[in-house]
Amino acid sequence: MPPAAGAGVIAERSCPALVLSATSSGQGKTTLTAALARHHRRAGRRVRVFKIGPDFLDPMILERASGAEVEPLDLWMVGEAACGQRLWEAAAEADLILVEDAMGLYDGSPSGADLAARFGLPVAALIDARGMGQTFGALALGLARYGPDLRLAGVIANRVGSDRHAEMIRAGMPDQVPLLGVLPRLAEAVLPSRHLGLLQANEIADLEQRLDAAAACLRDTALTGLPPAVTFAPPLSPRSPRPAPRLAGARIAIARDAAFAFLYSANLRLLEQLGARLAFFSPLHDSGIEADAIYLPGGYPELHLDRLASNQPLHRALRAHVDAGKPLYAECGGMLYLLETLADKADHSARLAGLLPGHGRLQPRLAGLGMQSLATPAGELRGHSFHHSTMTTALRPSAHGIRQRDGGRGEPVYRHGSLVASYLHLYFPSAPDAAAALFTPRGTGG
């Protein structure tokens, strides 16, 4: 959309937009959002999808469905101003903006409802209708009335078992809450999952067929039309200030393969804006590495134990890198890879890189979850924790994360020589100078 008349004036932008939420996790939000993106994309529309809250797995699916990058929106981790700028920028290029919520509509502080209210986004709430009839309407009414600032466009009944079941749901709906659709139980559209969430998109061989099947279910619902347009205010300044090139000329090698894939695109863009040259390598396949700094992100090392353990040449290359005093930064699964041993859920253990003294073990239940920040001399980085493993080490933490919900002590951060590791997944744009320091040798101004 062209800017408004007048030199230097930045115009508002409008675009149809909708938040897809639910009463809780596991209701089918990602499947519905992906189905909507696929439907509108096949209709020739340009679709931009965002994900509320921290997530690596759902965006992989949504990118395949929409054909465009999926970025996080979160009032705390990303920041209100940055969220607003992303929506405003998307409105210039998209025919439709879809936003998938995290957990339930009112869960968390800030919640998906808070973000929707802040930017005037209408919300469609998905409710798993299994095991209920007219009570469905009571839940719908509760969602509509709980948040006075919420624009509830309506609700969708999911996993409806029969025509008679659908009739019971319609009979119990209050007049003031629209029923936007009734979706059947459809095994061929279900997205498979494991611990931590959905399978990675490239692990689902028939993902395209599943997305097409999910999109076909929307044919007789009100969701196939475009939602109302939302007006997005321009940012206070047209562009965020470009960070100082603190990593100018530095070559950063980043692990990226089936075992290490939990990366925010915004993190990679920031490293490039800081002046770094990025290269990617695979701990599963590559035997050597040459770089000024290394980034080991999170992922699923526990699913590839034997392959990771057998790649001894890369272990030696990583050790040589650290012995030379070069920075190595590792998050969650990347940290587990650096331990002496790691055991999976079946208690199968393997010897891994051995750069960090200690042992990791996958647990049957979630061991860490929540938003956290990390205070550093160069600024406060924000991020999150989400893991099913625990680790033991004789090392004393050099710092701890700070839990967002109560200010309490969060995940430990370990520094061992030039190596920095933690369970935290950090969002680098929250503090660019602090992010640059993670990849700067100590004693050089980082």
- Short-list 437, 406, 438, CA closest to 422: 438
User: What average pLDDT is seen over the chain?
Assistant: 92
- Token look-up 């205070």 returns 375
- Sorted by sequence, the CB contacts under 8 Å of residue 289 that are 6+ apart come out as 253, 281, 314, 317, 318, 321
- Indicate if the pLDDT at residue 438 is higher than 60: yes
- Token look-up 């209408």 returns 122
DSSP state of 414: E
Q: Listing from the earlier edge strand, what are the strands of the sheet with 277-281?
A: 277-281, 251-255, 293-296, 328-331, 419-422, 409-416, 399-403, 368-376, 379-387, 425-427
Q: What is the pLDDT of residue 422?
A: 98
Q: What is the pLDDT of residue 205?
A: 85
Q: What is the pLDDT of residue 260?
A: 97
Q: What is the pLDDT of residue 235?
A: 87
- Report, as an integer, the average pLDDT of 29-52: 95
Does residue 206 or residue 381 have the better pLDDT?
381
- Report, as an integer, the average pLDDT of 337-362: 96
What letters, b where the CB count within 10 A reaches 16 and e where it falls short, cover 157-180? bbbbeeeebbebbeebbeeebbbb
Matching fold, domains 13-232 and 251-438: yes
- Indicate if the pLDDT at residue 2 is higher than 60: no
| Contact yes or no for 350/337 (Cβ under 8 A) | no
35 exposure class (CB count in 10 Å sphere: 0-12, 13-18, 19+): buried
Question: What are the residue boundaries of the structural domains of the chain, listed by start?
Answer: 13-232, 251-438
Cα 360 from Cα 355, distance rounded (Å): 13
Lowest mean pLDDT among 80-84, 234-238, 266-270, 396-400: 234-238
Q: What is the pLDDT of residue 203?
A: 83
- Report, as an integer, the average pLDDT of 325-339: 98
Q: What pTM, to 2 d.p., does this model score?
A: 0.92
Confidence label for 237 from pLDDT (cuts 50, 70 and 90)? low
Reading the block at residue 412, the tokens are 């430990």
332 is catalytic: yes
Q: What is the pLDDT of residue 135?
A: 95
417 exposure class (CB count in 10 Å sphere: 0-12, 13-18, 19+): middle
pLDDT (tens digit per residue) in 358-378: 999 999 888 888 999 999 999
Confidence label for 195 from pLDDT (cuts 50, 70 and 90)? confident
Backbone φ/ψ region at 62: left (φ over 0), alpha (ψ -120 to 50), beta: alpha
- Indicate if the pLDDT at residue 280 is higher than 80: yes
For Cα atoms 395, 381, 10, give the angle at the middle one, nearest 5 degrees.
Answer: 170
Neighbours of 323 (CB within 10 A): 11
| Relative orientation angle of helices 135-146 and 163-171, to the nearest 10 degrees | 50
- Report, as an integer, the average pLDDT of 272-278: 97
Cα 101 from Cα 207, distance rounded (Å): 21
Q: What is the pLDDT of residue 371?
A: 95
CATH topology (fold) of 251-438: Rossmann fold (3.40.50)
- Indicate if the pLDDT at residue 189 is higher than 80: no
- Report, as an integer, the average pLDDT of 135-153: 94
Q: What is the pLDDT of residue 446?
A: 41
Q: What is the pLDDT of residue 444?
A: 59
The CATH number of domain 13-232 is 3.40.50.1370: no
Lowest mean pLDDT among 33-47, 63-77, 181-195, 214-228: 181-195
- Indicate if the pLDDT at residue 186 is higher than 80: no
Give, for 328, the enclosing helix (H) or strand (E). strand 328-331
Catalytic one of 15, 83, 217, 332:
332
pLDDT (tens digit per residue) in 8-22: 557 999 999 999 999
- Indicate if the pLDDT at residue 3 is higher than 60: no
